[in-house]
Amino acid sequence: MSIYTQLGVRTIINAADSYTILGGSLLPPEVVKAMEEASRHFVYLDHLHDEVGKRMAQLTRNEAAMVTNGAAAGLAISVVACITGDDRDKITEFPALNGMKSEVIVHRCQRNNWEHVIGYLGVQLVEIGDEDSTMLRQLEEAITEQTACIVYFTSQSFDAHAIPLQDVISIGKKHNIPVIVDAAAQLPPVHNLWTYTGMGADLVIFSGGKTLRGPQSSGLVVGKSELIRACRLNSNPNMSVGRPMKVGKEEMVGLLTAIDRYVHLDHEAQEKRYIQIAKYFCEENKKLGFDTEFVDSGPTGQSYPRAAIYLKATDGKSAEQIVESLKNGNPSIWTRLTENKQGFYINPLHLQDEEIRIVQRQIENLLFGPTNR
Ligand SMILES: *Cc1c(COP(=O)(O)O)cnc(C)c1O
């Protein structure tokens, strides 16, 4: 019996996305194997951090890299690193901010739940711009002696209203203020692992438990050596604000293995597979009389396709009802409502081959009743 059966916890088919509430992503066998091997021996954790960091930096074409306890922890640690640097006294004193810079600049139009992570640190968020636009001048005016860093969230949904990242980086350099990019979900394309740092961003953060398919509780921070060093000093195993955001030896080795796998993947073949799956859902549901749409990007602009299936008023059920019924069905299938709530997306990113037909059959059963198909 599987562990989940023993526990009485049902497993879920994920046609939605990399959601933390569903467990992030699934670990490839080579990642599990590496973690299992790592679990059999003691090591000096700082030494492992060093060596894993070096290899991750090489693989992602960056100066330096480190594993954190998720991207959210990576964001917290990165901000603290910009405040304390490698000053041991400041690291020990934090979150008391005596004599330390305490302001973090963010875009109003990029406000999202992840800013709470910065708020927890007791620093002040300084907003620039409004929902619809942000001007370079507003960034320049927001910079004071107290500015510790600028945090930038990359996502297609914000792009039109924010200052372009390249300009933010130029201003940051001019004033000697580091720019942190939260790119937690911005894979694929794989080159994002080095594109933002290549543009001059100081620290860039990725989730380990999303498309990288590392441990759910892992995150990757890449960037300037000096700042990664400050991140390390603010992290486990050092007594610091990062100590409760512990990363174990298994997660370190697991994330490194996942990154190694990811950068060497046949991304073209992978994309082809995603396209095939998304097209399959579009075609099958079109045959059933629904409007379908092949959407060529992920929810925040990532380069993977999705199928959108729209219900008509005459179908008798709302898209919301379908999404709920799929969740509550057997097997339980998670999809995502479209932004206009008229339909739902099916995302190939985490679908196993054998699950594809199951998902389609379930949709048909829900809409037309069980058949002997
Ligand atoms: C998912 C996400 C995070 C958090 O990532 P974890 O690895 O789950 O901590 C942070 N920021 C953004 C923009 C995200 O999409």
User: 44-65, pLDDT tens digit by residue?
Assistant: 999 999 999 999 999 999 999 9
Alpha carbon of residue 307 to chain centroid: 21
Cβ–ligand 1 contact at 185 (below 6 Å): yes
pLDDT of res. 315? 65
Coil, strand or helix: which one is 242?
strand
The number of beta carbons lying within 10 Å of the beta carbon of residue 264 is 10
- Tens-digit pLDDT profile for residues 270-283: 999 999 999 999 99
Grade residue 230 by pLDDT with cuts at 50, 70 and 90. very high
The CA distances from residue 94 to 87, 98, 175, 335, in Å, are: 11, 8, 24, 42
Cβ–ligand 1 contact at 116 (below 6 Å): no
Q: Is 157 exposed, middle or buried (0-12, 13-18, 19+ CB in 10 A)?
A: middle
Cβ–ligand 1 contact at 184 (below 6 Å): yes
**DSSP H or E segment with residue 20:** none
Contact 246, 69 (CB under 8 A): yes
**Nearest atom within ligand 1 for CA of residue 72:** 9
Q: How far is Cα 21 from Cα 306, in angstroms, rounded to an integer?
A: 20
pLDDT of res. 316? 75
The CA distances from residue 228 to 1, 65, 88, 244, 247, in Å, are: 44, 7, 15, 18, 15
Q: Is the pLDDT of residue 373 over 60?
A: no
Among residues 7, 356, 19, 23, which one has the least CA distance to residue 215? 23
Between CA 65 and CA 355, with CA 208 as vertex, the angle to 5 degrees is 150
Grade residue 369 by pLDDT with cuts at 50, 70 and 90. confident
pLDDT of res. 313? 60
Mean pLDDT on 232-245? 94
Q: Is the pLDDT of residue 314 over 70?
A: no
pLDDT of res. 113? 87
Q: Is the pLDDT of residue 159 over 90?
A: no
Order of all β-strands in the sheet with 179-182 = 64-68, 219-223, 203-207, 179-182, 147-153, 103-107, 124-128
Q: How far is Cα 219 from Cα 331, in angstroms, rounded to an integer?
A: 30
Cβ–ligand 1 contact at 209 (below 6 Å): yes
Residue bearing the CA closest to ligand 1, atom 5: 71
Which one of 106, 182, 218 would you pick to mutate in the ligand 1 pocket, going by the greatest count of ligand atoms within 8 A of its CB?
182
The amino acid sitting at 128 is I
Q: Is the pLDDT of residue 371 over 80?
A: no
User: Across the chain, what does the average pLDDT equal?
Assistant: 95
Grade residue 98 by pLDDT with cuts at 50, 70 and 90. very high
Cα of 248 vs centre of ligand 1, distance in Å, is 19
pLDDT of res. 245? 96
The CA distances from residue 41 to 45, 65, 165, 216, in Å, are: 11, 24, 43, 22
Here the tokens at position 232 are 């390390």
Cα of 185 vs centre of ligand 1, distance in Å, is 7
Contact 180, 151 (CB under 8 A): yes
C-alpha distance across the termini of the chain, in Å: 30
pLDDT of res. 216? 97
Contact 18, 207 (CB under 8 A): yes
pLDDT of res. 75? 98
Quickly tell me which residue has 């092949």 as its tokens.
Answer: 294
**Nearest atom within ligand 1 for CA of residue 112:** 13
Coil, strand or helix: which one is 38?
helix
Mean pLDDT on 27-51? 98
The amino acid sitting at 272 is K
Q: How far is Cα 121 from Cα 145, in angstroms, rounded to an integer?
A: 19
Cα of 154 vs centre of ligand 1, distance in Å, is 12
Q: How far is Cα 347 from Cα 317, in angstroms, rounded to an integer?
A: 21
